[in-house]
Structure 1
Amino acid sequence: MQTIPRAALVLGLAGVLPFLWGALTVISDPLAMWSQGAFGARFTGPYVQLFYGAVILSFMSGVLWGFAARATGSRAAVGYALSVLPALWVFFTTGGGAEAAGTALIAGYIGLLVLDWQFWRWSLAPEWWMRLRVLLTALVVICLSVHLIV
């Protein structure tokens, strides 16, 4: 069993920081006020999570497209079709306010994990892929859930 490459793990965890920052500014009013003054409302509370979450979910479509490019025949066609689903999900579901968009992103990240598993099962993703994706997805979903329960 391969371990997650250090660079992939460190960069993946660094990618969780905007989600964590958003969650922290939701649960701490003093931190939220400081963040708004220092960075603006877009980088505070659920807004940073929703914007960044939409960007990253769309980015993951590109990652899956890269995996699909390793396939051949009908599996490649199915892979390409599946790879565009996260970006389309973001486009069609993240309007309508912070609560609806947050809920849609949570569903999108859980759906992405299913797609990750399928590409991994087809041996198109690295052996360590699912260990990384389960960890990152759990952290992202927890962070996105904060503004829905607070």
Structure 2
Amino acid sequence: MFQRIPRAPLILGLTGLIPFLWGALTVLLPDLGLWTVRAIGPRFAGPYVMLFYGAVILSFMSGVLWGFASKATGTLAATGYALSVIPALWAFFMTGGGPVSAGMNLIFGFAGLLALDWQFARWGLAPDWWMPLRLLLSAVAISCLGIGVFL
């Protein structure tokens, strides 16, 4: 599966998981969370780093989907553009209200994004290695967000 994913997107995608992984670690290891709060600030510990970064990534992924839509024409392009803004709007409207509800909404947002990824791939607008990469990255992001919400 990973052999089909080009090296640069795989490495950059995995590197992009660091804030999620760090947030989950600081939830699982409270002493690391306390050190983080003291050393670099509370925004970079626990669920807060995952919530902020998750909203940023959903917005970034809207841009990626917009780029895929630009490869289409006519009604398919218009549909792709309309769908591409959903992750950013979801992040904007659904991440308020406290860390638990924001975390749950980000989990739903990343699951929905995966469905959009699949649709764009189905339309032939994403590269053939896109879904294996997105499945891996989404699984890790959703798992980390789950740690922040449920533990």
Report the TM-score when normalising by structure 1.
Answer: 0.98
- Give the match for residue 133 of structure 2: 132
What residue identity is the alignment partner of 2:106? L
- Give the match for residue 39 of structure 1: 40
Contact residue 47 and residue 149 of structure 2 kept, 8 A: no
- 1:94-109 equivalences in 2 (<5 Å): 94-109=95-110
- Give the match for residue 30 of structure 1: 31
What residue identity is the alignment partner of 2:101? A
Equivalent-residue separation in structure 1 for 2:111 and 2:150 (angstroms): 18
- Give the match for residue 17 of structure 2: 16
Structure 2, unmatched stretches of 5+, are none
What residue identity is the alignment partner of 2:7? R
Deviation at 1:114, TM superposition (A): 0.3
What residue identity is the alignment partner of 1:89? W
Equivalent-residue separation in structure 2 for 1:40 and 1:52 (angstroms): 15
Deviations 1:35-61 (A, max 9, x none): 111110000000000000000000000
Moved over 3 A (4+): none
- Give the match for residue 146 of structure 1: 147
- Give the match for residue 77 of structure 1: 78
What residue identity is the alignment partner of 2:71? R
- Give the match for residue 63 of structure 2: 62
Contact residue 26 and residue 46 of structure 2 kept, 8 A: yes
**RMSD across aligned C-alpha pairs, in angstroms?**
1.0
Structure 1, unmatched stretches of 5+, are none
- Give the match for residue 7 of structure 1: 8
Asked if 1:89 is matched to 2:84, the reply is no
Aligned length: 150
What residue identity is the alignment partner of 2:146? S
Deviation at 1:138, TM superposition (A): 0.2
What residue identity is the alignment partner of 1:81? A
Equivalent-residue separation in structure 2 for 1:66 and 1:75 (angstroms): 13
- Give the match for residue 121 of structure 1: 122
Equivalent-residue separation in structure 2 for 1:102 and 1:72 (angstroms): 36
Report the TM-score when normalising by structure 2.
Answer: 0.97
Deviations 1:11-32 (A, max 9, x none): 0000001000000001111101
